[in-house]
A and B are shown apart, each in its own frame.
Chain A
Amino acid sequence: MMLPSDFELHRPATVGEAVALRAELGEAAALYAGGTELLLAMKLGVLDYEHLIDLKRIAGLRGVTCAGGELRIGAAVTHRELETHPDVVRELPGLAALERAVANVRVRAAGTLAGNLAFAEPHADPPALLVALGARVVLVGGEGSRELALEDFLVGAYETELGEDELIEAIVVPVGAPGAVYRKFQVLERPAVGVAAVGNLVGGVFDGAPTVVVGAVDERPVRVGAEMLDGAALDDEGAFAALAEAAAEAVEPVDDLSGSEDYKRHLTGVLAKRAVQALGDV
């Protein structure tokens, strides 16, 4: 790892200034909202930008608000803020728990959720749970602002729908889901498999099929059909075995340092089962 090449750091005061800078500088510029992924890539020489546009000092991008059954997370909000924010802890304890286990505290103190989503590193924790919760991203650009489901925003590895003159203004997450959990398996610095489950249990029986989303395995989050659990009890071994099988078949893992293809398929099944079972502890 070396020093990154020279770059100019821009610190716009408003979202409008940031959008204007992005339009002006084009591909020579990258948005900078914590830098925990971006600067590593620049130090490794994988990415090279002449300009960085720092979003973290823009007041309009800061803060978490909770209103109208939704949590609105500004683009400059760090993982650490989410992990400790009383509204997040109260309304989405599953997200707070996920954030608490992202990387390490130094990364969490600097890195932002928006930066994480925009970088679209496949081996990330937040996307699976946010997709399962039906999160949306608010994008703002020269043409105004628009909202996209996070699931549609994430296109592939390091690839999103973010337009050339756009930036993420906020992430909007509906609250009020009865239970939302995330379980991951991690050996190296990033998760090998992460599974989010959102669902409701009434008297130990699933009220409707839970939503199950697998992250960190494929290039983007993958939904797993969990209809076999609709009406199933927490101790229904057959239904959970079917879920594990469905999850293992839903993903397309590749061999890497975290494990080979068949092992990661197996792990996906195990983690899907554990995540959904954990809804019983919520």
Chain B
Amino acid sequence: MKVAGQSVPRVDGPAKVTGRARYALDLTVPGMTHGAVARSDRAHARILSVDTGEAEAVNGVLEVITGASLAPLDLRFGHVVRDHPALAVDRVLYHGEPVALVVAETRRAAERAARLVSVDYEDLPAVMDADEALGEGAPVLHPERIERTKDEGLDQGGEALVGNLCAAADFGWGDVDAALAAADLVLEGEYRYPMLYGYAMEPYNAIASFEEGSLVVYSTAQHPYMVREDLARIFALPLARVRVVVPYVGGGYGSKSYTKVEPLAALGAYVTGRPVRVALSVEESILTTRSDGARVRARSAFAADGTLLARDFDVVMDSGAYTDNSPVVCAKLANRCFGPYRIGAVRVRVRSAFTNTVPASSLRGFGAPQGNLAGELQMDDAADRLGIDALALRLKNVVRPGEEILPGKRGIDADLPADLDLLTTSLGWPNAPEGRGIGFGISASDAGAHPTSVAMVRLHADGSASAAVGATELGQGSRTVLSQILAEQLGLPMEKVAIVAADTGVTPYERTTGASRTTALVGRSLMAACADAKRRVAELAGEGAEFADAIKAFFGAGGEIIGVGAVRRHGEFRKMPPFWEIGCSGVVAAVDAETGRVRVEQLSTVGDVGFAINPALVHGQDLGAATMGLGAALSEQLVYDGQTLANPNVVDYRVPRCSDIPERLDQILAQRQDGIGPYGAKGAGEGTLNPVGAAVAAAVGRIVGRYPRELPLTPERVWRLAQTEDARV
């Protein structure tokens, strides 16, 4: 291979470092107006009336749009359940929910007017805690339940979705109770993973306009084709007449999956007939989407020789006010919580609960870190109690290559024992430096999502080639990797290939840019498209012909050859998941005993990616993901104080900084070409995050003498843990 496997420079690097790369926020459309959002200051209330008079009187204001003013338009969106109104209609379900959209000639006028929208509410009882929400007598957020879109089979088990139960997963195998009764050691504990804001440098923003019967939206969406579906339904338009264009995106991490501000901008355009930009601040973005917090009750049963006999997980997710993506997170949390181990008996029950809080949706890791905290900490705790080395205990139970984690699903396409060896060697396990603690862990995520991807390749008369794909460039480097695949497949230098991406009016369908799927799945559809194009060249001009010659021979003047390729749930992609994304990370940490402050001195990651098409980009993803894991491990958490967020800004919500990056980084790549993607590649971008929370907690636990059960490990929490007199639990 010539280009694949090389750390070629990013194709978008020069444009980005010189500030020339265009993001949605950089665009302007002729005649563009500005939307600003008035938000609820109640957690749960009935809207009695909305007084827009003062706001309308502000100079420059074109329209003040409320949910009620838009009847009979149905403002609800949601790819699993269409229950999320773009603007609250008769009730608000959380503090910060959009109640009105002001459209004005200037952003200043729109923002000023938005502050003048006055709403008369009748307060309703609110429920702020997920366990309470599922309990008797809790106020019900969605008394009338809307049917699932049935886009994906999600719920496992037959739990009825009533009350505040948003989604549920309930499955298992083997006789868990018998295994628990017969075990030599049973560990039981309750663990808590915080609700997080997936901070990205670019907040949510979109520009919408209606042009010649089509709705055109420029946006920061990760999944433009999903957004297209929501918009088509709201405005009763065919998919062909909704065009969602996503230029460069300033960070996604799942926080920009699915529909966010696009309906607001589109409603503004619909009412005013003018293009409308809605650009949220970071503070407003925090009020738009967060990740699901989780309370995890876990039991693990072991034989005296360390054999993991059974696991029993009972999880309640705090999913906020609307369904959004929580059912998918619920299903994934359930699949990922018990870990990549050979376990005779498993029982998993995950319930996603509605609460009067900011709606939760996707975030990097996608359910895995929540469950992994409990699962991996119990491995460490069991090792201590059984007198078995924590690595040896994992090696004894971890699945071998090809073995199934979930019955009937794809066997594991990775060598986890080898990964654990690489990791623990890097960490110096079990010999921690004086006063330090080592922690490490492993995870396996059913990644790739539903494998639908279509790509188109165009061979040009001058011997260059371009490809059109629906994948978005979120900073992860998708355009660079796809360029490398295109160049490799066609035998062209990087200078002669180009990628056109993420414009539903131009590029072919892509299900999502999520689940770490782009390299593997878009890469394969692109390879198929290249093969198709080459087949056409051979048909026209014979095997081995140069495609420029074939074009010339066929057209005489000008012309091009187009190849299309697709990946679908068929053939080698029939078995789910398309691939497993492995997490294998560890830390060496120190604790300031007097203050409780944790300092992570070393971070080691094993990127089990099958094949690194661009090793530098994989390193970037592995470090970025693990660093986000450190954020949740040490400082990040959205805190509710009563019915409002106490830290709805990035001054009080602490994301990691460069100075928080551990001094010693060891980023290992395991390249065994055992993946379904191009050249044996698998996805990357989330895996290294997943075990980080448990790894940091284990390292801290080994220093202070008892394992923490709640993240983030704020200095106060660690200090209190060290003060606790209780024996190790």
Contact = CB atoms under 8 A, between A and B. Distances in A.
Interface of A: 1-3, 5-6, 45, 185, 187-190, 257, 259-260, 263, 266-267, 270
Nearest to A269: B594
Given A187-B635, A188-B654, 19 more contacts: A1-B282, A1-B283, A3-B107, A3-B108, A5-B112, A185-B595, A187-B597, A187-B715, A188-B651, A188-B652, A190-B651, A257-B639, A257-B646, A257-B647, A260-B716, A263-B716, A263-B719, A263-B720, A270-B594
A2 B281 contact: yes
By Cβ-Cβ distance, the 4 closest A-B pairs, closest first, are A189-B651, A2-B111, A263-B716, A259-B716
Contacts of B281: 1-2
A259 B646 contact: no
Contacts of B595: 185, 267, 270
B642 to A, nearest CB: 13
5 contacts: A1-B281, A5-B112, A187-B597, A187-B654, A270-B595
Interface of B: 36, 107-108, 111-112, 115, 281-283, 594-595, 597, 635, 639, 646-647, 649, 651-652, 654, 714-716, 719-720
A188 B649 CA distance: 11
Contacts of B719: 263, 266
A174 to B, nearest CB: 32
Contact of B714 (A3, A5, A187, A267): A187
A36 B282 CA distance: 18
A187 B36 CA distance: 33
A44 B519 CA distance: 41
B35 to A, nearest CB: 13
Contacts of B597: 185, 187
Given A185-B595, A189-B651, A267-B595, A45 B115 contact: yes
A3 B34 CA distance: 13
B111 A257 contact: no
A106 to B, nearest CB: 13
A268 to B, nearest CB: 11
B279 to A, nearest CB: 11
A2 B720 CA distance: 39
Contacts, number: 43
A145 B652 CA distance: 39
B715 A257 contact: no
Contacts of B108: 3, 6
A157 B115 CA distance: 27
Contacts of B647: 257
A45 B714 CA distance: 30
B301 to A, nearest CB: 37
Given A6-B108, A185-B595, A1 B649 contact: yes
B111 A3 contact: yes
B604 to A, nearest CB: 25
A237 to B, nearest CB: 13
Contacts of B715: 185, 187, 259
Contacts of A185: 595, 597, 715
Contacts of A267: 595
B652 A257 contact: yes
A90 B528 CA distance: 69
Nearest to B203: A1
A1 B279 CA distance: 11
A22 to B, nearest CB: 26
B59 to A, nearest CB: 11
A1 B635 CA distance: 22
A101 to B, nearest CB: 11
A246 B281 CA distance: 44
A6 B109 CA distance: 10
Contacts of B111: 2-3
A260 B654 CA distance: 17
B197 to A, nearest CB: 14
B86 to A, nearest CB: 20
A89 B647 CA distance: 36
Nearest to A274: B594
Nearest to B36: A2
Contacts of A257: 639, 646-647, 652
A6 B107 CA distance: 12
A2 B37 CA distance: 11
Contacts of A190: 651
B487 to A, nearest CB: 40
Q: Which of B36, B283, B635, B715 has the most CB of A within 10 A?
A: B715
Contacts of A3: 107-108, 111
A118 to B, nearest CB: 20
A2 B35 CA distance: 12
A6 B59 CA distance: 13
Nearest to B641: A257
A188 B111 CA distance: 28
A6 B58 CA distance: 13
Given A2-B111, A3-B111, A6-B108, A189 B652 contact: yes
Contacts of A259: 714-716
Contacts of B282: 1
B636 to A, nearest CB: 11
Q: Which of A2, A190, A266 has the most CB of B within 10 A?
A: A2
A188 B639 CA distance: 14
Contacts of B649: 1
A3 B163 CA distance: 41
A9 B720 CA distance: 50
A187 B639 CA distance: 15
A66 B530 CA distance: 73
Q: Which of A185, A263, A266, A270 has the most CB of B within 10 A?
A: A263
Contacts of A45: 115
A187 B599 CA distance: 12
Contacts of A260: 716
Contacts of B639: 257
A10 to B, nearest CB: 20
A1 B714 CA distance: 26
A25 to B, nearest CB: 21
B105 to A, nearest CB: 14
A6 B649 CA distance: 23
Contacts of B652: 188-189, 257
B178 to A, nearest CB: 44
A216 to B, nearest CB: 14
A5 B594 CA distance: 46
A266 B593 CA distance: 12
Contacts of B720: 263
A241 to B, nearest CB: 12
A187 to B, nearest CB: 6
Nearest to A192: B715
Contacts of B646: 257
B660 to A, nearest CB: 11
A190 B652 CA distance: 9
Nearest to A1: B281
B313 to A, nearest CB: 31
A253 B246 CA distance: 48
Nearest to B114: A2
B402 to A, nearest CB: 46
A260 B714 CA distance: 12
A2 B115 CA distance: 11
Contacts of B594: 270
A71 B597 CA distance: 36
A6 B111 CA distance: 12
B552 to A, nearest CB: 57
Nearest to A263: B716
A148 B107 CA distance: 44
B503 to A, nearest CB: 31
A233 B283 CA distance: 51
Contacts of A266: 719
Nearest to A3: B108
Contacts of A1: 281-283, 649
A188 B653 CA distance: 8
Nearest to B282: A1
Q: Which of B115, B639, B652 has the most CB of A within 10 A?
A: B652
A1 B285 CA distance: 10
Nearest to B281: A1
